[in-house]
């Protein structure tokens, strides 16, 4: 009798679980952005969530959980129930660099997450306020003449844009430019506009409005070719006469590790439809994001692994570690 009751219980649990997966989503999905509102990741995530709400027939809402270079929000998702109702909009910072930088990691970007898709990439830029030189070579010369005077901001210690700044300092000849960490790109940009710092490492899309408004100068873009959004701005390679400086901030949608495969597959297929939409691709292009339309859970996992391996020597050379 006990065996029969146990079997009935297990069968009931299996049916309940299967029904939950089949009916997913049946309530609002929280999309955690581990950076401050107004930055490049937040802007992208909000547009993605709006499109996914329509694709899934349920509301997907963005919540900002900033701090510790994205680790606070990412760790919250890693510990969340694996039912598909709490997702992460992560980046190269949270999934490519975090486990290489942290002395005491709160999560593992491969073991503790089920990736849904890599959804896009945005090239980094070097932007300065109007009191700084108007081209990159002149800026480099000014820094060499006055080491330590210029300070630059990033979304936080250990973020992808922070490491991009450190790479720039190395490639430009070992520049002395102290780093000021912020809880996201938006507060860093605010301090640039207020002349609290002289330079930021940002992405092209989120810097463009201030650039077009004549409030900041974008001295160079860290991509293989010039941005179609601002074709007059040279690449870092052009400006410095080098050929190997490229930095694109990629974004990933991920769920907690034990999320059922059926839910991951449903999210993946909906994401693929959203990212392939012509109007959405055009919308993203206007803010400097190159959409990725062919990512799957398997290719996303492989990409994260390869990015961790590629970034390891860069992190070691920069000598950056976080708590």
Give pLDDT tens digits for 242-287.
988 999 999 999 999 999 999 999 999 999 999 999 999 999 988 8
Mean pLDDT of 194-206: 94
Same domain, 152 and 214: yes
CB neighbour burial string for 268-305, b if at least 16 within 10 angstroms, e if fewer: bebbbebbebeebbeebeebbbebbbebbbeebbebbe
Residue 157's alpha-carbon distances to 63, 154, 171, 276, 304, in angstroms, are 21, 8, 19, 34, 20
Same domain, 41 and 114: yes
- Gap between the Cα atoms of 173 and 153, Å rounded: 19
- Residue 212 belongs to domain with CATH number: 3.40.190.10
Residue 171's alpha-carbon distances to 33, 271, 281, 317, in angstroms, are 31, 37, 33, 12
Same domain, 133 and 186: yes
Position 215 scores a pLDDT of: 97
Q: Which structural domain range is residue 226 located in?
A: 123-240
Position 1 scores a pLDDT of: 53
- Gap between the Cα atoms of 90 and 74, Å rounded: 7
User: Does residue 127 fall inside a structural domain?
Assistant: yes
Min mean pLDDT across 27-41, 73-87, 137-151 is at 27-41
Position 13 scores a pLDDT of: 43
Of 83, 88, 62, the C-alpha closest to 17 is 83
Q: Is 215 left (phi over 0), alpha (psi -120 to 50) or beta?
A: alpha
Position 5 scores a pLDDT of: 52
User: Does residue 323 fall inside a structural domain?
Assistant: no
Same domain, 81 and 131: no
User: Does residue 245 fall inside a structural domain?
Assistant: no
- Gap between the Cα atoms of 27 and 258, Å rounded: 19
Same domain, 116 and 134: no
Instruction: Note whether 141 and 240 are within 8 A (CB).
Output: no
Same domain, 9 and 99: yes
Two tokens at 221?
A: 């873009």
Pick 290 or 198 by higher pLDDT: 198
Give pLDDT tens digits for 216-245.
999 999 998 998 888 999 999 999 999 889
Contacts of 313 (CB under 8 A, 6+ apart): none
- Gap between the Cα atoms of 249 and 233, Å rounded: 19
Position 305 scores a pLDDT of: 97
Position 288 scores a pLDDT of: 87
């Amino acid at each position: 009798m006990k065996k029969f009751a146990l079997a009935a219980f297990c069968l009931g649990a299996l049916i309940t679980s299967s029904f939950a997966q089949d009916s997913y989503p049946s309530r609002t999905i929280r999309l955690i952005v581990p950076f401050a509102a107004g930055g490049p990741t937040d802007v992208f995530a909000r547009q993605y969530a709006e499109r996914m709400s329509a694709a899934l027939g349920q509301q997907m809402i963005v919540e900002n959980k900033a701090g510790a270079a994205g680790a606070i929000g990412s760790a919250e998702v890693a510990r969340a129930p694996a039912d598909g109702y709490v997702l992460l909009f992560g980046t190269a910072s949270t999934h490519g660099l975090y486990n290489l930088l942290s002395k005491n990691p709160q999560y593992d970007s491969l073991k503790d997450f089920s990736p849904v898709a890599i959804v896009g990439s945005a090239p980094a830029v070097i932007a300065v306020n109007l009191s700084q030189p108007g081209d990159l070579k002149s800026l480099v010369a000014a820094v060499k003449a006055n080491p330590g005077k210029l300070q630059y901001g990033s979304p936080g210690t250990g973020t992808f844009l922070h490491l991009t700044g450190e790479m720039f300092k190395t490639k430009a000849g070992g520049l002395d430019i102290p780093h000021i960490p912020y809880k996201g790109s938006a507060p860093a940009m605010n301090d640039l506009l207020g002349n609290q710092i002289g330079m930021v490492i940002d992405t092209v899309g989120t810097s463009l409005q201030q650039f077009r408004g004549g409030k900041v100068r974008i001295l160079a873009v860290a991509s293989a070719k010039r941005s179609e959004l601002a074709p007059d701005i040279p690449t870092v390679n052009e400006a410095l006469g080098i050929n190997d400086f490229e930095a694109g901030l990629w974004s990933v949608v991920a769920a907690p590790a034990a999320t059922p495969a059926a839910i991951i597959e449903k999210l993946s297929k909906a994401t693929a439809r959203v990212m392939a939409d012509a109007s959405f691709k055009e919308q993203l292009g206007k803010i400097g994001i190159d959409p990725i339309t062919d990512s799957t859970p398997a290719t996303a996992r492989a990409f994260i692994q390869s990015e961790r391996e590629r970034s390891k020597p860069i992190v070691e050379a920069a000598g950056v570690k976080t708590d």
